[in-house]
Structure 1
Amino acid sequence: MSSHGGGVPSAAESLPPSSGRSSEKLSLPSLQSKMKCDPEGYESELLLLRSQFQSSLELFREQAKMSFTSVSGFGFDSTVAKDLSDRVMILSHVTPFYPQHLADFPKQLADLLSDAARSLPSGLRCDLTRSLILLLNRKVIDIGETLSLFMELQTLGDKVLKKLAFDHVVHSIKRMNQKHKNEAKNRALQNVMFRDLNQEDEARAKIALVTLCELHRRKVWFDDRTANAICRASLHPAPRIMIAALSFLLDYEKIENDEDSDDSSSDDESASPQVVLNKHTIYKASHQGTTASKKKKKLKLQRAMRSLKKQQRRSSEKGTNSQYSPLNHLIDPQGFAESLLSRLQTCNERFEVKMMMLKLIARTAGLHRLILLKFYPFVQKYIQPHQRDVINLIAAVVQACHDMVPPDAVEPLFKQIVNQFVHDRSRPEAITVGLNAVREICMRMPLVTSEFSSSVKISVFNDLCLIEIYHATPMRAGLASMIGQPFDEKLMNEDLLQDLALYKKSHEKAVSVAARSLITLFREVCPSLLVKKDRGRPVDPTARPKAYGEVDVATDVIGAELLLENSSKKRKFSDFNDQLMAGDTSLRALKKMAGTTTVNSLPESTDGILSNEDFQRIKELKAKKEAERAMAQHGLSTSAGFKVRNSDELSTKRVDAATLEAHVRKKMSKDERLAMVKEGREDRGKYQARAAVKQKKTGGLSNKQKEHKKKMPLAAKRNKVTRTRIEKKKKNARAGKQFRGRKAWK
C-alpha cells in the first residue's frame, strides 16, 4: 500500500481485506457499509482504521508545530487533512457498533476541536464538526458535554461553521423537549447560556442571546428564566447586545389593529363565534333601497359581522397567549424599568437606539402598570411637532399612561401636547395627532386627581407615590400641610374640552373625525363637560370620571343587569295592569303606584341564584348588545353607544402609532374617477344600442313573433270577430254625440 507524507494511506486507495477472506479491495464507503452489517467480522479493519486515524492525527499535530510548508504556501498539507477527515467520518459512522473499541474517540474529537479549532483549515474544521454532530445524533455523547464547544465554534468567524453549529444547538434542544421536558437537563443547559450571556466577550454574549431568542420564539424554552434573561440583556454594557435584545422585545408582538381585517380564514373556523344580528337590519340590507344602496348595506353588514366575530374570538382567547410578550415574565419590572430609564438619561447612543429604549420603558410601564414619575418630564421636552419620529414618541407616552399614574404627574405633558399640536396655526396632520393623543390619554387616565380635594393628599418620596386619605381634623390637616398640598385640578376641564370639540366643524375631514371621536368618548365618560348639543342622548347622563385610586368592585354577577332589563321590559305591562286593578278598589293603592320606584334586584322567584338558563340568556344578551354596537359603528344602527375598554384591556394591548395619524381617503379628481371607471370596463365589449343589436339579430323568429302566427281555434276566431263588432258599434255611438266645435285655426 502506498503512503503519503509519513506512511498514511490515501483516502482514494482502498483498504486490503483481512486474512481469511477473498482478495477483493474495498473502498471506504463499501467498508463502512459492511462493518455496519457485520461488526464482529470486520474488527481487524476497525483496528487498522483506528491506527491510521492516530497516525494522521499525530502527523497533523507535528505539522502544526513545525509550520509545514506545502506547495501552495504556508499552512497544512491538504492531503493529510483529507486523510484525517475521511478516517474521522468513517469512525464516527461505525462508533455505535464498536462502543468498546472506540470509547475514547468522541473525547479525542472534541479535544481536537477545542484545542486547535482556530488553526485548523476551514474544510477540516467543518468535517470534524459534522462528525461530532453525527455522534450526538446517535446519542453516543450528550449535548450537555459539548454545548460550550459548539457555542465557541460560532465565534470563529467561519459563516458555514457558524450556521452548522447554531442549527445543531437549536434542533438538538428542540428535539430533546419534543416529547417531554427534562427540567434538570434544561436548567443545566440554560446555565451555560446565561453564563455566556453575562460575559464581557461581546461575540460570545451575542451568540448566546441569539440562541436564547430563537429557542424562546420557537416556544422550546418558553419559561420565566429565559424571558428574564432576554429582558436583562437589554441592560448589557455592550451596545450591540443591548440593541439586539431591544429589537427582539419590541418586534416580538405583532400589532393588531382594531379595524376590520379582510381575513376570510376567521370566518371559516370550525368553532365560529355566536353572532346575533337584527332581522330588520338584514332585511333592509337585502330588500330596501336601490341596487347600489343595497350593495353598500350588504358590505357594511359583512364588515360588522367580521368585526363582531373578531371581538368575540379575542374575548374567548383571553386565557391564552394571544397578547404574549416576554415582558410579562419580568420578576422585578419596576427595577428593570428604572434601570433602563437611568441608562436612557445618561447614554450617548444614536437617536434610533434611544427611541427603542423609550418604547420598551413605556411598554413595560403600561403592561405592568408601573409608576415612573421621572419618565413623563423626561419625554415632555421632546414633544414638539418638528421633532423627529414624534408620532412614535407620542404613542410611547400613551402606552405609559394608565389608571395607577397620578393625573398631576401627566398634566404638564398633557398640556404640552395640547399647546404644541392643537392650535389654529398648526397643520391639519398635527392637529389630528394631537386630538387622537388627547383621546387615548383620557381613555386610560383618571381624569380627576381627587373627588374631594380636602380628603386626598399625594406625596412623593423617591419616585414612590403615596396616597393618604384624611378626615377634616386639625392634627391631620397639619400633617397634610407638611407632606404636600392638596390637588383639586382635573386633567381635562370643561373649557379645554369644549375648545377641542369645536374642531368638529373643521373643513379637514381628519380633524373633524378626531374631534368627533373625542366627543363620543366623553359622552360615555363624563357628559356634563360637554355642551348640551354635543351630549346627544347618552346612555348614562349622570356618569362621572373616576377619581384617582377609585376601583369598581363587582357586587353582583357580571351581566345580571342585562337580565334585569330584559325581564323588566317583559313584566312592564302585566305589572301595570295588576296595579291598576288594585287601584280600582283602593285610593291608597293608587297613591302607592304613583310613588313606586324601580329597584334593581333579581326576580324574587330566583332568590338571587341564577340557573344555567339564566347564564345562557346573559350570554345571548351580551352577544346581542355587541352586535348592536358593531352595527352602530359601521353605520347600520344608531341605538348603541361607544364602548370604553377597561384598564386591563388597554394596558395589555400595544399602542400602534399608525392609529394616531390621519387615515381619511382623499376625494378623487375627475381624471382619477374616469380612470377607475375605465378599469371596470376592460372586460366589457363596445357599447351598442339595443335596437341596433336587435337589427343585427340572426336566426329564427322570436317567441312573440311565433305567437302571432299560431292558428287560433274556430271558437276563438268567432269570439274575436264578435268582440270586434261590439267594440266598433260602441265607438260609433260615442262618436256621434261628441261636439267637435269649430276649429281655432284655418
Structure 2
Amino acid sequence: MTKSKSNRGALLLDNLPQLQGLVKRDPDGYKDEFIQQYNHYKSIINIFKLQPGYNLNEFNNLVGFISQVAPCYPSITSQLPNDLSDLLIQFNSHLSPDTKKTLIQSLVLLRNRKFIDSIDLLKVLFQLLPITTSSSIKSYIKHVILNDMKLANQQSKNHKLNRVIQGLLFAMVQTGMDAEITSNKKSKNNQINSNSEAMWAVMLTRELWRKGVWNDSKSVSIVALACFHPTAKVQNAATHFFLGSDDVVEESDEEGDEIDIKKVQHQALINKSRKSTDKKMSKQKKAAKKANANKQNSSTPNFPALQLLNDPQGFAEKLFLSLTKTDKVHSLDHRVLVMQLLTRVMGAHKLCVLSFYSYIIKYLTHHQLRITLILVALAQSVHELTPPDVLTPVIRKIAHEFVTPGVGSEVVAAGLNSITEISRRQPWAMESDLLEDLIEYRKSADKGVITASRGLLQLFREVNPSILKRKERGKLAAMGMSTGKQALKFGESNEVASGIEGLDLLEKHLDQKENDDEDVDDEKAWDDWDAESDDASSEEEGWVNVSDDDADIDLSDSDEEKEKEKKEKKEEDTKDISTNDQIAQMSTLATERILTPADFALLNDLKMKAVQEEIDQGGGNAAKRKLAHLKEKRKATGSGADGDDQGQFVTEAEIVGPRKRAKNDYEARMASIAEGREGRDKFASRKGKHKSDKVASKTNEEKKRNKPMMMAIHSKRVKSKSQSKLIDKQKTLHKHKEKQRKKM
C-alpha cells in the first residue's frame, strides 16, 4: 500500500495538469504536493538570479501551474506576483520571448482571479513596454492594457484607475523632455529608452481616446505635452492625434525609413525578374502609394480634443516657439505638420499669434515643396479677430509670387483661391488697387483661373462692395449700397444672441406632426444619444425637496388646459406681429420642452432643406456655401465630432481649385484597353455579334441574294435595266469605270 502511494505521488509530480485538477478539487488533500512544486519553483528562480543564462524550459509549465492554483493557497503564494514582476523587469534581457509571455499571462491570470489588483498589473506592464524588444510581446502587452482599461470603464468611469494610469502616462512623456532636440534621422542610443516611453504613452492615449474610454481634458493634456517633446517621432505622433489622422509611426518602424518610388521602379527595370524580387517590389510600390496618398489627403481635425485644450493661447505660442527653434533641425514635412496643428488651434479658438504671419512669408513661393498645405495652414489661421494690417503683406506676397504672368495657370488659380479664403475670413486685409488687378484674371483662357477670379469678385460683392468699382459691384450689391447698407468694420459683429437659429422650422414640423396625429416619444428620442455620466451615484440621490415658496411651478395635469394656453399664446403672438411688422418672431419651443439630440439633428436637416429651397429659387453663392457648411456639420456630428459651424478649416482641394483631368499613365491606358477587349475574340470584329443572342429578321440585301431567279427577272429593277436606253447604259458604264479607277 505504501509503495502504491509513493508511486502515485511521483506520477502526480511529473503530471502537472493532473495535479492542477486535483488541487482545485481538494486543496487541503494535496497541499504537500503543491508545497513541493512551489519549493522547486523558488529554487529555479534563485539559480537563475545567480546564473542568468540558466535554461528555463521546464520553468514555463511550472509557473503556469502555480499561477492557476495560487488562489487556493493565498498565504503560501503571497510573494508570487512580486517574484514574477521582479523577474520580468530586472532580468528582461536574459529571458526568452516564450518565458516573458508566460510570466505576463500568469500575472493576467492572477488579476482575473482577484489575486492582485488591476493597478498593480498595469504598473508592471507600463514598465515593460519601453524595455521589451519583441514586437509580439509589445502587441500582447498593448492588447492587455487596452482591454483592461475598456473593461474597467465599461459600466461606469473608474476614476481611481484612470487617475493612476494618466499619471503614469504623464510621467512617461515627461521623462525625456530635457533631452537634446533630435530629428527622425538623428537619434542617440542613450535617448531610445525615454523616446520609447513617450511614444508608447501617446499611442496608448490615442487608442483609449479612439475607443471612447477616455474623453476628458487630462488625456488631452498628456498628448499636448508630447507636442513639445524634443524627439520628432514623438511630436509627430502627438500632432497627428489633434489632426485626427491615423498616420502614426509605429514603435517597430525604423526611424526615417521612407520609400522612394522612382528608385523602386528603376530597380524593377534593371534587376533580374524573380518571384521573390517581384513580390518585394510590388509590396514596396503599394507602401509608397499609400504613403503618398496619406500625405496629400487632408485629415479631419479632432474637434473635441482641440476644444479641451487647457490654455489654448499658451499652447499656440509655445508651439510656435518650438517651430521656430527647430526650423533647421526637422524636415519640411514635420514643420508643415506642426503648422497645421498651430493654425487649427488658432482657428478653433480665434487666437492671434502675430509672429506666425511674418514667419510664414518665407515659405510663400510657387516652387516651395508642400506649398498647397502651407497655403491651407495660412488660410485656416485667419479669423475675424485677426488684425488686417498683419495680413496685408501676406496677401501682397501671395499675389506677387503666384498671380503673375510668368507662372502656370494652376499656380495662378491656387494663389487666387488662397487670397479668397483669407479675404473671406478677414476682408479688410485686401487693398482696392490689388483687388482690381486680381479680378482682371476672370478674362483668362484657363477655366480654373476664371473660376478663382470670379469667386474673389463675388466674395467682395457680398462682404464689402464699396471697395469695388461701380461697374463691377453687380445689381444686388448696388441696390444694397443705395439703401445705406454698409460692410461691418473690423471688430464688429452682427451675430446677436436671439435664440437658436432655425428653431421656428422645428416648431412648424412638430406642429404638423401633431395635426397629423403622430405621437412623438421623447424617451426614444434620447436613444443612442445618452452620454455616459461621470457620477455613478446620480441615480441614488433620491428625491429632491421642493420648498413651499415655489409658487411658479405648474402642477396641472390637464392636457386640454395646456393646449388651450398654447393656442392663446400663438394668437397673441400673431396679433403682435400683425400690428408691428418690425418685431421679429421668436420661437418659444425651447421654453416649453427639453430639446433632445435627435431634435437638433432634425433641426439641421430642416435647415438644409430650407437652404436647398432657397438655392432652387435663385439663391446666390452665400446660400450654396451655407448648404455646404450644414452638410459638413451633419457629417462631423454623425462621426462623433463637433461641427465646423463657421467653416474655419480649409481643405487642399479648395486651394487647388478645379483642374483638368490628368493624363493617364501607361498602366492606366493598358488597363482601359484590356477592359475594352473583354468578350471579344482576337483580331475579330464585334459587328453583328449582338444578333447571335436574339432572333432577328433578315435584311433586304440578304433577301435579294437568296431570291429565286424566276422571281428576280420579273422585278422592276431588272426590267428597267433591259428596257433602258443606250445613253443611260453608257452613263452607268461610265460611272462604274470611274468608281473602279478611284478604287485603284
TM-score (norm 1): 0.62
Indicate which of 54, 58, 73 corresponds to 1:83.
58
1:264-306 deviation per Cα after TM superposition (whole angstroms, max 9, x unaligned):
xxxxxxxxxxxxxxxxxxxxxxxxxxxxxxxxxxxxxxxxxxx
CA distance in 2, matches of 1:356, 1:693: 66
Indicate which of 523, 539, 545 corresponds to 2:461.
523
CA distance in 2, matches of 1:679, 1:398: 43
Kindly provide the amino acid, as one letter, of the partner of residue 439 in structure 1: T
CA distance in 2, matches of 1:250, 1:561: 32
1:143 counterpart = 2:136: no
Aligned CA distance change for structure 1 residues 601 and 408 (closer, same or farther; 3 Å): farther
Q: CA deviation at 1:651?
A: 5.7
Aligned CA distance change for structure 1 residues 525 and 682 (closer, same or farther; 3 Å): farther
Aligned CA distance change for structure 1 residues 63 and 218 (closer, same or farther; 3 Å): same
1:241 counterpart = 2:234: yes
The SS at the match of 2:215 is: coil
Q: CA deviation at 1:375?
A: 0.7
Contact 1:362 1:396 in 2 (8 A): yes
Contact 1:366 1:652 in 2 (8 A): no
Structure 2 matches for 1:109-508, cutoff 5 A?
109-156=84-131, 157-200=133-176, 201-252=194-245, 324-347=303-326, 348-349=328-329, 350-445=331-426, 447-448=427-428, 491-508=429-446
Moved more, 505-514 or 616-625: 616-625
Aligned CA distance change for structure 1 residues 511 and 253 (closer, same or farther; 3 Å): farther
Residue aligning to 1:459: none
1:599-628 deviation per Cα after TM superposition (whole angstroms, max 9, x unaligned):
x98333998565669999999985554113
Q: CA deviation at 1:242?
A: 2.0
Structure 2 matches for 1:656-695, cutoff 5 A?
656-666=651-661, 686-687=687-688, 693-695=696-698
1:541 counterpart = 2:477: no
Residue aligning to 2:727: none
Aligned CA distance change for structure 1 residues 119 and 658 (closer, same or farther; 3 Å): same
The SS at the match of 1:603 is: helix
Contact 2:340 2:377 in 1 (8 A): yes
CA distance in 2, matches of 1:116, 1:656: 51
Kindly provide the amino acid, as one letter, of the partner of residue 49 in structure 1: Q
The SS at the match of 1:155 is: helix
Contact 1:126 1:161 in 2 (8 A): yes
Q: CA deviation at 1:170?
A: 1.7
The SS at the match of 2:94 is: coil
Contact 1:202 1:238 in 2 (8 A): yes
Kindly provide the amino acid, as one letter, of the partner of residue 498 in structure 1: E
Contact 1:399 1:651 in 2 (8 A): no
CA distance in 2, matches of 1:493, 1:341: 28
CA distance in 2, matches of 1:87, 1:98: 16
Contact 1:224 1:329 in 2 (8 A): yes
TM-score (norm 2): 0.62
Contact 2:242 2:301 in 1 (8 A): no
Q: CA deviation at 1:508?
A: 0.7
CA distance in 2, matches of 1:106, 1:613: 58
CA distance in 1, matches of 2:62, 2:225: 45
CA distance in 2, matches of 1:215, 1:520: 46
Task: Give me the CA root mean square deviation.
Answer: 4.2
CA distance in 2, matches of 1:222, 1:501: 47
Contact 1:443 1:521 in 2 (8 A): yes
1:41 counterpart = 2:29: yes
CA distance in 1, matches of 2:381, 2:209: 26
Q: List gaps (5 residues or longer) in structure 1.
A: 1-15, 65-74, 255-320, 449-490, 567-599, 632-636, 698-746
Aligned CA distance change for structure 1 residues 184 and 413 (closer, same or farther; 3 Å): same
Contact 2:417 2:657 in 1 (8 A): no
Q: CA deviation at 1:534?
A: 4.5
1:628 counterpart = 2:613: yes
Q: List gaps (5 residues or longer) in structure 2.
A: 177-193, 248-299, 509-574, 593-598, 631-642, 681-685, 701-744
CA distance in 1, matches of 2:108, 2:341: 39
Q: CA deviation at 1:427?
A: 1.2
- Give the count of matched residue pairs: 519
Indicate which of 99, 119, 136 corresponds to 2:74.
99
CA distance in 1, matches of 2:246, 2:10: 67
Name the structure with the higher helix share. Answer: 2
CA distance in 2, matches of 1:362, 1:538: 35
Q: CA deviation at 1:29?
A: 2.0
1:378-414 deviation per Cα after TM superposition (whole angstroms, max 9, x unaligned):
1112211111211111111001100111111111111
The SS at the match of 2:383 is: coil
CA distance in 1, matches of 2:315, 2:98: 45
Kindly provide the amino acid, as one letter, of the partner of residue 166 in structure 1: K
CA distance in 2, matches of 1:161, 1:621: 52
1:509-546 deviation per Cα after TM superposition (whole angstroms, max 9, x unaligned):
11111112222322322334445565444377235432
CA distance in 2, matches of 1:214, 1:512: 46
Q: CA deviation at 1:337?
A: 1.1
Kindly provide the amino acid, as one letter, of the partner of residue 239 in structure 1: A
CA distance in 2, matches of 1:84, 1:638: 81
The SS at the match of 1:504 is: helix
Aligned CA distance change for structure 1 residues 677 and 497 (closer, same or farther; 3 Å): farther
CA distance in 1, matches of 2:473, 2:657: 25
Identity of aligned pairs, percent?
29
Kindly provide the amino acid, as one letter, of the partner of residue 627 in structure 1: Q
Aligned CA distance change for structure 1 residues 640 and 653 (closer, same or farther; 3 Å): closer
Contact 1:151 1:208 in 2 (8 A): no
CA distance in 2, matches of 1:202, 1:620: 47
Aligned CA distance change for structure 1 residues 508 and 602 (closer, same or farther; 3 Å): same
Kindly provide the amino acid, as one letter, of the partner of residue 85 in structure 2: A
Aligned CA distance change for structure 1 residues 619 and 168 (closer, same or farther; 3 Å): closer
Contact 1:395 1:656 in 2 (8 A): yes
Q: CA deviation at 1:138?
A: 2.7
Kindly provide the amino acid, as one letter, of the partner of residue 117 in structure 1: N
1:194-253 deviation per Cα after TM superposition (whole angstroms, max 9, x unaligned):
112101222322222222222222221221011011012111233332233223333449
Q: CA deviation at 1:561?
A: 12
Kindly provide the amino acid, as one letter, of the partner of residue 206 in structure 1: M
Q: CA deviation at 1:153?
A: 1.5
Q: CA deviation at 1:436?
A: 0.5
Kindly provide the amino acid, as one letter, of the partner of residue 311 in structure 2: D
Kindly provide the amino acid, as one letter, of the partner of residue 220 in structure 1: V
Kindly provide the amino acid, as one letter, of the partner of residue 59 in structure 1: I
Q: CA deviation at 1:346?
A: 2.1
The SS at the match of 2:95 is: coil
The SS at the match of 2:658 is: coil
Q: CA deviation at 1:139?
A: 2.7
Q: CA deviation at 1:102?
A: 2.2
CA distance in 2, matches of 1:688, 1:31: 78
Q: CA deviation at 1:20?
A: 11
Q: CA deviation at 1:677?
A: 12
Contact 2:379 2:421 in 1 (8 A): yes
1:72-128 deviation per Cα after TM superposition (whole angstroms, max 9, x unaligned):
xxx32x3xx022221111111122333333222222222222332233333322321
Q: Which has the larger radius of gyration?
A: 1
Aligned CA distance change for structure 1 residues 33 and 603 (closer, same or farther; 3 Å): farther
Kindly provide the amino acid, as one letter, of the partner of residue 476 in structure 2: P
